[in-house]
A and B are shown apart, each in its own frame.
Chain A
Amino acid sequence: MKKLTPKQEKFCQLYVELGNASDAYRGSYDVKPDTKPETIHNKGYELSNKVELKGRIEEIRANLKKANKIDKQWIIDQHQEIIDWYKELKQLAKQEDISDKDKKRVYMLKDLIKGSDFRGSLDSITKMLGLNEPEKVKQDIKIEIIEKKRD
């Protein structure tokens, strides 16, 4: 990878931190007070799309995820936990006789989980795994051409 200038490196760091190319540009380059916002926007956009900077931005993001031990699987696991709590509550609710221990569990779980959390987690997992894409259905369409005779 081509070595970046100190300003480009700072731009990449700020871009990941702020999530905005214009702000990252302002923080890493000498921007004059009278510089037009469109100019800053264009410069930031150009920089964020340069191949070598894009690569560095991805690298910083990957390192951050690694440092925080956050990846797709971790996020799915968190959602799965919410779903499991909800399922456990539902299961408890269906029991005819709820033991004293289970009653305590229900009361404890009620602080952790709401029905909307369950639905939200299902939605998130569905989107993350791309399960909400429309199913492709192959259809054979027969077109019948009826010739109409002229009288």
Chain B
Amino acid sequence: MNALWIIARRELAGYFNSPVAYVFLVIFLLVAGFLTFTAGAFFERGEAGLGAFFGWHPWLYLVLVPAVGMRLWSEERRAGTIELLLTLPVTTWQAILGKFLASWLFLALALALTFPVVLTVNVLGEPDNGAIVAGYVGSLFLAGAYLALTCMTSALTRNQVVAFILAVVLCLFLILAGFNPVTDLLVRWASPAVVDTVAAFSVVTHFDGFQKGVLDTRDLLFFVSVIGFALFATGVIIRSHRAG
């Protein structure tokens, strides 16, 4: 357990040792603000809620989360430090979880820095703060699911750009599976059961509940399963590189 936190700390410090962390935070906050206030028409809606804010998160994370996670394993493999890391007295799982948690914490920090939007909506009206908290929890798990998938694609290649693109494609699939235009298209030729199954794989469907303030265990379980599966796959990929 100890080794896990040492790895996580090193990884987290790695973000802040380079300008990447600051550039990312600024871009994240700017884009989140733009989407909420301009594209999401926050003020014009006249609602005391953060629907305009959270609604964009599946799309916002689509590009930004893979950007945070793409270097996790590909960079270790490219630089050869993976050999150093995995010959230290740690298990592969500790290394995978340590790295994942570091990036997840970093994303949590980025998300926490959006607090002014909570203040704004509280000043302007009387929102359901329970729903807002649920929204943040959902958003964090959404980011975690994307991040775990990025870990997996990052373990597949030495090239960060390839890892990034693969991660975006996978995450896009998870959004589109439940995106209305896509489900509408499916309804025309597939049976409702198929449509439901495909939609069940969508992060949008599962994220919706959180936005409404409903903490459904099934939704939570979905995100935890995606994270668990993707990290397990990461372990299998890393083992297979070494098994030859």
Does chain A bind chain B?
A: no
Question: Which residues of A are interface residues toward B (Cβ below 8 A)?
Answer: none
Question: Which residues of B are interface residues toward A (Cβ below 8 A)?
Answer: none
